[in-house]
Amino acid sequence: MGDRGTQPLAAVPPWLLRALAGSEHPGHAPEHWRRLVHQGVVEGEHNTSIASLTGHLLWHGVDPEVTLELLLCWNRARRRPPLDSDEVIRTVESIVRLRQRSADNT
């Protein structure tokens, strides 16, 4: 019989931690996201709202390319005034990179 007390425990995978914590995304309630996508935002909240929605969609497993396309459409339909598409692309790509680095470190 080996010495079991000296073996380090494996890290708990992030997906298991999320499952144990429940399926709710930490942060805003669903009503916040519904209001944001239906009503849009005004100038001054542009980048923050794009970054938040990107993180929310990625956390729920939406593919980064689909996320980008959805946010480009949302920007044109619900932003007053809309951001330049290049700005939306840069913001989404930045959040995707941050999320990927975070996933690589777990």
Sign of CA dihedral 13, 19, 23, 29: negative
Computed over its alpha carbons, how large is the radius of gyration of the chain?
18
CA 62 – CA 16 distance, rounded (Å): 19
pTM of the model: 0.71
Mean pLDDT in runs of 10 for the chain (106 residues)?
60 60 67 89 79 92 96 90 92 93 79
Domain extent listing, the chain: 31-104
CA nearest 25: which of 70, 58, 64, 71?
58
What integer pLDDT is reported at residue 47 of this predicted model? 82
CA 45 – CA 92 distance, rounded (Å): 15
CA 100 – CA 3 distance, rounded (Å): 37
